[in-house]
Structure 1
C-alpha cells in the first residue's frame, strides 16, 4: 500500500530516513526560490550556514550567495531569499549557493532517505505525478518557522498530499488526513493573513508574497537533492554552459 505522511520542522527528517522519499516544502521562501532558480536552468547548492556558503562559493564560477538566517541576509551575500528577484535576473549561468533558517536545514537533514525532493506551490502537480510513478512511501515535510508550522507550509504539504491521495496513496496517520481536509478547497489568498506574510510586508518584501501567490502550479520542474546539488529531474529550461573554477 502506498502511503503519505505530513510532518514539520528540520528535526522531523530523522523519522523518515528509512524507506521514505522525503519532499521538503518551505513556501516562504526557500523552496520557492530554489524551484524558480532550477526551472531557469541555474545550478543550486543548499547549505546550512553562511560559512559553508562562502567555502562552497570559492569552488564555483561567479556564484550568487543567496539567502537569510534569522530573517536577515548574511553579511557578504548578494541577495536575500527572494524568488521574485531571482525570477527577474538574466544571469542564469551563475550558480546559487542557498541558505535559509529552516528550509535548507530540513533539506540537508533529509539526506540519507530513499530520495529527497523539494516542492512549493509552483510545482505540486508535477511533483505528485513524479512521486506516484516512483515511490510507495512519501513523507511531505514543512520547514516551519520559529517553532510554528506556518499556514503556507501546511497548505503546500496538504495540497501535495491531496494529489497523492488522488493518485492512490493512503494517509499514513490521522494528522495527515486532518491537514488534507483542513486545506482542501481553500484559497491561496489566505496566506496573506499569516505571520510569514506579515514579515514580508513589514520588511518591504511584499513582491515575494505577490510572486508566490501569483505562481501556483505553473511549472513542471521536479527537483531532487543529489550529492549536495538540486538536480532537475523533469521540466527545466535549457541550461547554459558553465562550470567549476
Structure 2
C-alpha cells in the first residue's frame, strides 16, 4: 500500500488506527506545547489521562511538579496551569512534571497504549515530519480537539506535518486529509490568533501562552516520543541514519 498519512481529530478517533500505525498527538493550545517545552528544557514529563492517575504516578517520583487543567481550571493541589510560559519561567528543572489536560494528555496516553506515539506542536513540525519520513510508513496525525471542534491551531500543525510527508511521497488516506492540508498550506501562524482557543486565552488573561505559541515556530530540532508513561526527547539526526 506504500506510505500513507491521515489527519484526524479527537481522542475517540485513536481507535480507527491499529498498532501498525504511528500516531502523532497534537494539542497546540496547550498540552503538547507544554509537554514538549518541558522536555526540551531538560525536565522529565509524565502525561496522565485523568486526575485519578496523578497520585499513582506521583508516588514513584521525587517532589513532582503538578501541572495541568481540566475544563480550563487548575485542579486543587496543582502547582501550575497547563502553561508553556509558566514552565519556561521556572528554574526547578530537577522536579519531574506530571501533566494533565482536558484533551491533549488523554489523546497522547490513549495513542501510546499499543502504538508508537509522539507529541508534536508548532515548535517541531519540520523535525517531526523529517523523523517520520525516515522511519514510519503509516502515520495518523490527530488533533486533540476541544468542545467538539477541530481547533485552528491543531489543524495548522497537523496539516504542516502532513504536507511535508506528502512531499516525501506519502499518499493521503482520504479526501479530508487533502482538504485540511490544502486549507492550511502557506497560511500564516497569525491565522490561529482568531481561533476559539486563542480567544479563550485572551479572555481569561492568559495571553502569555498565546504569545509563547505564536513566538515559537519550528525552533526545535528533536521529536518527542511517549514511552512507558513518559515523554522523551529523541534526536532526529541520530535516528534518521
Which TM-score tier does this pair reach, normalised by the shorter chain? over 0.9
1:79 & 1:17 partners in 2: Cα distance? Answer: 35
Q: State whether residues 65 and 97 of structure 1, in contact with CA within 8 Å, keep that contact through their aligned partners in structure 2.
A: yes
TM-score, scaled relative to structure 2: 0.95
Matches within 5 A, 1:1-245: 1-234=2-235
Cα offset, 1:210, TM superposition: 0.4
Query: Cα deviations across residues 193-233 of structure 1 (Å, max 9, x unaligned)?
Result: 01101110111100100000000000112111111111111
Counterpart secondary structure, 1:133? helix
Cα offset, 1:54, TM superposition: 2.6
Cα offset, 1:48, TM superposition: 1.6
TM-score, scaled relative to structure 1: 0.93
1:18 & 1:81 partners in 2: Cα distance? Answer: 29
Counterpart secondary structure, 1:154? helix
Structure 2: gaps of 5 or more residues: 237-241
Q: Which contiguous aligned blocks of 4+ residues in structure 1 show a shift greater than 3 angstroms?
A: none
Counterpart secondary structure, 2:135? coil
Cα offset, 1:113, TM superposition: 4.2
Cα offset, 1:19, TM superposition: 1.2
Query: Cα deviations across residues 104-161 of structure 1 (Å, max 9, x unaligned)?
Result: 1111111244310010000011111111110000000000001110111111100110
Structure 1: gaps of 5 or more residues: 236-245
2:158 & 2:114 partners in 1: Cα distance? Answer: 18
Cα offset, 1:52, TM superposition: 1.3
